[in-house]
Amino acid sequence: MLELYLGGARSGKSRLAEQRICDANRQRIYLATATAGDPEMAARISHHQQQREADDWRTVEAPEELSGAIRQYASPQTAILVDCLTLWLSNWLAKEDDERWMQVKGQFLHTLTTAPGHIVLVSNEVGQGIVPMGSLTRRFVDEAGRLHQDIAAIANRVVFVTAGLEQVLKN
């Protein structure tokens, strides 16, 4: 089962996705894509970690090698939460290697179609605002939109979250 949770910053998407994993009644794996580059991001990471401590999660840091982590941990007995895809995308776009990014993205999509178990992906919807002025920011918005479309096409369930409320787009 593959699910995609999309929403804006602080929309409640991570909380709802985490609950979905908890409801799956399987071993819980959290694939974290964030890196603590500054104190504010470190605080965000700490907040998410504290929320999961009581719920028996295994956390795996995967800021770049997401496909490998999914292949390693996905099984019929696991429920994997990936939080979040836009941070993972940022990590790859910062490398400024378009050819490598396209290979990594293709590998990731293939991994999602073949991985066993329950996988829930969380990502920020960033394409609903104005077109950014900077070329890197425009590329990020474009690549995030393409990634979301590709995942939505193969996902069993897609949910958009606003103000902590789910709107199921595909089920």
The pairing of strands 165-170 and 157-162 is antiparallel
φ and ψ at 119, to 5 degrees?
-125, 130
Specify whether 148 is catalytic.
no
Q: Which listed residue (48, 110, 118, 148) is catalytic?
A: 48
Q: Which residues contact 29 (CB under 8 A, 6 or more apart)?
A: 57, 58, 60, 73, 78, 79, 80, 81
Angstrom distances, CA of residue 78 to CA of 23, 81, 115: 12, 10, 11
- Distance (Å, rounded) from C-alpha 94 to C-alpha 162? 28
Q: Which of the residues are catalytic? A: 48
